[in-house]
Amino acid sequence: MLCDDVRRVVYFFLDGSMGDRKQSEFRSHLDDCPDCETRTAAHRRLREFIRKRLSPIGAPEHLKIRLSASLHVSAE
Ligand SMILES: [Zn+2]
């Protein structure tokens, strides 16, 4: 696996939607390549940050309130 490949598939890796074989290629590239390792770690932190900010009562709850408000209005 090359650095370009790592950049292209990093989201699949972090999602856990990468096949086992690809995943081990990915990991072994990170072992050899500090640049990709650092970049992957940064992506992972960003994802965790976003997930914490959005869950569990972020967007969905807000959406529910807006939805019920708009249903109420149209029922009148
Ligand atoms: Zn690399």
For the segment 26-73, what is each residue's pLDDT rounded down to a tens digit?
Answer: 999 999 999 999 999 999 999 988 888 876 655 566 666 666 666 665
How many angstroms is it from 28 CA to the middle of ligand 1? 10
Q: Which helix (H) or strand (E) holds 55?
A: none
Q: Nearest CA to 23 among 12, 35, 39?
A: 12
Burial pattern 25-37, b for ≥16 Cβ within 10 A else e, equals bbeebbeebeebe
Q: Residue 51: what pLDDT?
A: 83
Coil, helix or strand at residue 7: helix
How many angstroms is it from 10 CA to the middle of ligand 1? 11
How many angstroms is it from 16 CA to the middle of ligand 1? 19
Residues with CB under 5 A from ligand 1 (ion): 3, 33, 36
Q: What's the pTM?
A: 0.65
How many angstroms is it from 72 CA to the middle of ligand 1? 54
How many angstroms is it from 51 CA to the middle of ligand 1? 26
